[in-house]
Structures are given as structure tokens and as C-alpha cells.
Structure 1
Amino acid sequence: MATETNRLHFPRIRIGVPLLGLIWLAVTTLPFLFVVVTSLKTQEETFSAPVWALPSHFYFGNYWAVLHGPYLTYFGNSVFVVGLSVLLIVLLSAMAAYVFARLRFRLNKLLFGLVIAGMIVPLHATLVPIYLLTRNLGLYDTQFALIGPYVALSLPISIFILTEFMRQIPHELEEAAQLDGCGPFRIFWRIFFPLSTPGLATVAIYNGIALWNEFIFAYMLTSTPPHRTLPLAVWDFQGQYSSNIPAMLAVVTMTSLPLIAAYAFGQERLIKGMMAGSLKG
């Protein structure tokens, strides 16, 4: 009887999983397709034709207008700010995580708790203090005005992820290194940092995506196009009484492409790194 029941359930599972996958694919893909299709319409066609209607002809003038504006400047600023911020986040969070995960001292748990408490601080509660501090340091309206807040606000979650990851690394590797005369600094760089590659990749990808799309600090701490980042590029096509919606969606499409390309080329490497880390741990 149980065998017959299992046979009835197996086909349902085999049909249900692909069906759920197709539904999820539609949910995640259709919004992006809508953005791309609308970006290829003229502004007049956007208001006169149905929302999901295909354009009568592919109009690439929106992308031409975007590229002939300050878009490339915004793109370069985003690459610089996000790249440097992610590099600092990975290095600082890895070193802090190693201290909390493997070094024993009296205030370990207390300090770790204070760092993790930073995860519950509301973002908007920090806007005024960060703005005043940036003004006083003379960094307002520069790329460096964004790096400090980006790194500081990303460290708590990054340290939490890497601390839990480093706790899973076998103690035998650390003990063998100590027998060879390695100190904490060399143990970190020779053993823990290389073995933490999957965790480091997770932290880098998570923060890279979040900072690439960050808007509020970029809007508050920069005021001129030479220092703005990509999330503010849409403002160039928004007037007081009207907005060029196709051009704005062209900006959104071009801003999303680097993230999609990075994931497409890096997903296999990331999965292999995660599998290797689980086998080593």
C-alpha cells in the first residue's frame, strides 16, 4: 500500500518542481523584459500603445541619448566606488572574522555582539550624522564621500557571514601551522584567507550588488554629475513636469547588464568554490 502511494506522489513531484521553476522564471524575467521592451519605444509610443505591446519599430535613440550624456562618467564612478568599497569590506571583514572565530580573549563575545548589533541600526538614522561628518571632513561631493559609509554599514553582516564560515575550518590545520612556527598573521594569510574563498565570494557578490544599486547615500553625499554614480543617472531624464520614461528604462537596462554579465561568468566558479569549501570543512 505504501509503495502504491509513493508511486502516486513521485509523478506529482516530478511535474511540480519544473512547474514551480517555470513560474519563478516568469516572475523574475518578465519585469526585466518589460524594461528592455519599453526602453526600445519612443516617448510618444509609451503613452499611446498598450503597456505590454511590442514597439512598432526598435528605437535605439534612447540608448544613444544616454551614452551621449554623463552616463559613462557615472559608470566610471560606480566602478571605482563599488570596487574599492568591496575590496576594503572583504579585507577588513575577513581579518575581523578571523579574530572573532579563532582567537580567544576576554572581550571576544562582547565585541562580536556589538559588531552584530550594527545590523539592526536603521539606515535612515545614520543619514544626518554621516552627512555632517562628510561635510566637516571636506569630502562632500567626492567619490570618497561614499566609500566610508558603504564600508562601515556593510561590515556587520560581512563579519557575521565570515565568522560563521571560519569557525567551520578544521582546528588541525591551525595546529599544524602553529607547530611549523606560524603566528596568527601568517596563519590567517596562508590558511584561513585562502580556505575562506567561498565565503569571501559570497560577501563580495552580496555587497557588490547592494552597493551598485545604492541610491540614498549617493543622492545625499554627491551633488554634481562628475561625482555621481549610476543609480542617479535616471535623474538626467526626469524634468519638473514630465519624464522620459523610455530613456530612464534604457539607463536601468544598461545599469543592470554588468551585474547580469558578472553573475553569468562567475556563477560556475562560485558554485565550485562553495563545493570545495564544504569538502574541506
Structure 2
Amino acid sequence: MASSPVARATGRVAVPVLGLFWLAVTTVPFLFMVMTSFKSQQESFSSSVWALPEALDLVNYNDVLSGPFLTYFKNSVMVVVISVLLIMLISSMAAFAFARMRFRFNEAIFGLIVAGMIVPIHITLVPIYLMTRQLGLYDSQFALIGPYVATSLPISVFILTEFMRQIPKELEEAARLDGCGPFAIFFKVFLPLSGPGLSTIAIYNGIMLWNEFIFAYVLTSSTGTRTLPLAIWDYQGQYTANIPAILTVVTLTSLPLVVAYAFGQEKIVKGMMAGSLKG
């Protein structure tokens, strides 16, 4: 049944209004963060919360960058890059097995892995902490890589499995006729064709791990091993906090994510849709 002129007119008005409302919801906190980062601590207390800074003062940025911020940044880059590469390799190999290889308990094991998405990570903190201490990895960057990979595998395997199931079987059969074994088929056929899915899990997990706090807080303790989400602890005490400096840290920390998402949002959408549509 065709919609009425009133409904069409309402839709034409409602969609832009809702879009502008959502733009404000997502943009205003970011603008507040950037504005406050240019204020001094005294100005942040004496002026209105939404008042513009009196001057574009870079003192907070100089103080943050002259501290251990770059060490935190280096640690985050190392941990996230290694973790994402391992996630992509392990999840793609597992997805290929679940999507194309027939073996006993295939569906049961796949369902068990996917069920890991509903497990709250907080209930794993104590056993992971004890295991990390026993392995001698506590307070090192490598203490974070294992938990990061393990907690990111369920959703990554799920996305890539659904993606690989849509790859035409004729390509796999042609590779077998050429004498390719399972490993050759995976590396020469499925891995190159899974580029959109791999990009999706790389960007998604990269953003999630870049902002991860709880494991970094529990498994590291020294300045030389901490990651960026813990940098804000350098600017707060027991009874006070340097709000402009903290928001400066948050601004600098979020810039790589803004750039990465600006260039990768199309790949995320395409990867998600490719795994849900046949053909």
C-alpha cells in the first residue's frame, strides 16, 4: 500500500531532524573535550563549562607530550598491532575450517566459540591475573596480548566464518583441480578474497583494544609498560584532578582512532554487509 502524502512529508522532515540531533549528540562531547584541553586548570574552574577558552594555550599539550605519554603511545601501538595481526591470522584460519571443512562437532565447536561473545570479560580477570603471574609475564606488554587475542576471537571468527561461507564453491573446486591442498586453498584463494572481512575485524578490534582499560590496569603497574588508557592516572590524585590535562590526554589518544575510522568506516560497513548477503 502506498504511503500517504502526509506520511511522506513527515518522513522528509523527520529524517533530517533526527540526523541533526544524532550529529549533535556525537559531536558536542568531542567539541567540549577539545575546548577544555586548551584551558588552564584555573580557567576551567572559574569559567562556564561551555565557555570558549580565552586563548589557544598549548601548555597542556606541552606538559602531556613532555611526560611519559609517548611511552604509553609506543606501548599501545605495539600491543594493538601484534594483537590485531594474531587475531586476523587465527580467526581467519578457524573461520576457513568452520566454513569449508566438514568434521565431527563442527557446528558444536563453532557455537561454543561464538558463545564466548556473551561471557563478561570481568569474570576472567582473576584467573588471567594469576596465570600471568605464574608465567612471569606480569607488568609487561606481552601480558596484554594473550587476553586481547582471546577475548577478540569469538566475534572475529563469527564475522569471518559467515563471510567465507559466501565465497563461491567453484573457486575452491578449481583450486583443488589444480592440485592445491587445504593450506594452499586458504592462503591463495580464501585469504585474498576475505580482504573486506579482514579489514572489518582489524579496524573493529583495533579500536576496541586501543581503548581497553581493565586488563591494562590489572596486568601492568609501571610507567614503562602501561598503555594510553592509563595515561589519565598521571593527572589525578586522591582528592583532585587536572581536568584540562586529562582531556588533553583523551584528545591526543582519540586522534588516531578518528583518523583510522574516517578512512576505514566504509570498509567496516562493506565487510559487515558482505558477510550477511549471499553472492
The TM-score normalised by the length of structure 1 is: 0.93
| Alpha-carbon offset, residue 201 of structure 1 | 1.1
TM-superposed CA distance for 1:276, in Å, is 8.0
Name which of 173, 190, 193 aligns with 2:191: 193
Q: Deviations over 1:27-63 (max 9, x none)?
A: 1000110111111111011111111111122221111
After TM superposition, give the deviation of residue 116 of structure 1 in Å: 1.6
| C-alpha deviation, 1:68, in angstroms | 0.5
User: In the aligned structure 1, how far is the partner of 2:51 from the partner of 2:160?
Assistant: 47
Deviations, residues 100-137 of structure 1 (Å, cap 9, x unaligned): 11100112112112212222222111111111111111
What's the C-alpha RMSD, in Å, of the aligned pairs? 2.0
Aligned to 2:106: 108
| Alpha-carbon offset, residue 270 of structure 1 | 5.3
Once the two structures are superposed, the pairs formed by residues 76-91 of structure 1 within 5 Å of their partners are 76-91=74-89
The residue matched to 1:227 in structure 2 has which SS?
Answer: coil
Structure 1, 29-38 or 184-193: larger mean CA deviation: 184-193
Q: CA deviation at 1:279?
A: 9.1
Return the TM-score normalized by structure 2: 0.94
Percent of paired sites with the same residue? 70
Match of 1:45 among 43, 46, 50: 43
Q: In structure 1, what is the Cα distance between the partners aligned to 2:124 and 2:190? A: 33
Per the alignment, residue 140 of structure 2 pairs with 142
What residue identity is the alignment partner of 1:97?
A
The aligned amino acid for 1:46 is S
The aligned counterpart of 1:219 is 217
Distance 1:125 1:269, change over 3 A: closer
- Give the total of aligned pairs: 279
State the alpha-carbon separation in 2 of the partners of residues 141 and 275 from structure 1: 40
Give the C-alpha shift of residue 20 in structure 1: 1.4
Matched ranges for 1:171-210 at <5 A? 171-210=169-208
* Aligned residue number for residue 19 of structure 1: 17
Matched, 1:264 2:262: yes
Counterpart contact for 2:200–2:272, Cα < 8 Å: no
CA distance in 2, matches of 1:116, 1:220: 26
Instruction: Report what 1:168 is aligned to.
Output: 166
Q: Distance in 2 between matches of 1:247 and 1:274?
A: 37
Give the letter aligned to residue 155 of structure 2: I
Contact map agreement 2:64 2:245 (CA 8 A) in 1: yes
Comparing 31-40 and 189-198, the one that deviates more? 189-198
Aligned twin of 2:235 = 237
Q: Distance in 1 between matches of 2:251 and 2:266?
A: 24
Q: Secondary structure at the match of 1:192?
A: helix
Question: How far is 1:18 from its partner?
Answer: 1.8
CA distance in 1, matches of 2:119, 2:267: 34
Correspondence for 1:68 among 66, 69, 75: 66
Structure 1 residue 119 corresponds to structure 2 residue 117: yes
Distance 1:95 1:141 in 2: 30
Determine the C-alpha separation between the residues in 1 that align with 2:273 and 2:238: 52
1-structure distance, mates of 2:277, 2:103: 30
Q: Which runs of 5+ in 1 are unaligned?
A: none
The answer to whether the Cα contact below 8 Å between 1:134 and 1:145 also exists between their aligned partners in 2 is: yes
**1:272, 1:142 → 2: CA distance?**
36
Counterparts of 2:208 and 2:167 in 1: how far apart (Å)?
28
Structure 1 residue 264, shift from structure 2 partner: 1.9
Distance in 1 between residues matched to 2:200 and 2:37, nearest whole Å: 32
